[in-house]
């Protein structure tokens, strides 16, 4: 089954797609050929969020905050690890 569907095509199939979006079966909806959103089973999404929370020991990160984040250099990380050992 193809899980990539243009939004224009998904409009007419939304009920069927929602029925088929069960557990780890999801659909990526595209706009202009680019991935835009996903149609995913709500319980599966909650499990994914809980897994992220367990891994990061944080709550789910709002994608709107991505612009305020950055990658840290190996040097910075090493400095922090050394400071933690003091």
pTM beyond 0.75: the answer is no
Looking at the 3D structure of the chain, how many domains does it have? 1
Quote the pLDDT of residue 71: 80
3-state secondary structure of 27: strand
Query: Please, which pLDDT band fits residue 18 given cuts at 50, 70 and 90?
Result: very high
Strand partners, 37: 29
Query: Please, which pLDDT band fits residue 1 given cuts at 50, 70 and 90?
Result: very low
Quote the pLDDT of residue 12: 94
Domain holding 56, by residue range, is 4-84
Label residue 29 exposed, middle or buried (CB < 10 Å: 0-12, 13-18, 19+): buried
CATH number at residue 25: 3.40.1620.10
Give the alpha-carbon dihedral of 53, 27, 66, 32, to 10 degrees. 180
The pLDDT tens digits of the residues spanning 21-72 come to: 999 999 999 999 999 999 999 999 999 988 887 777 655 667 777 777 778 8
Quote the pLDDT of residue 57: 67
Strand positions, DSSP E, the chain: 4-6, 27-31, 34-39
């Amino acid at each position: 089954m193809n899980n990539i569907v243009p939004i224009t095509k998904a409009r007419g199939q939304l009920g069927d797609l929602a029925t088929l979006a069960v557990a780890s079966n999801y659909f990526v909806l595209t706009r202009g050929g680019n991935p835009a959103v996903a149609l995913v089973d709500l319980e599966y999404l909650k499990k994914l969020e809980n897994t992220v929370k367990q891994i990061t020991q944080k709550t789910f990160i709002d994608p709107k905050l991505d612009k305020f984040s950055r990658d840290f250099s190996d040097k910075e990380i090493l400095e922090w690890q050394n400071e933690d050992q003091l």
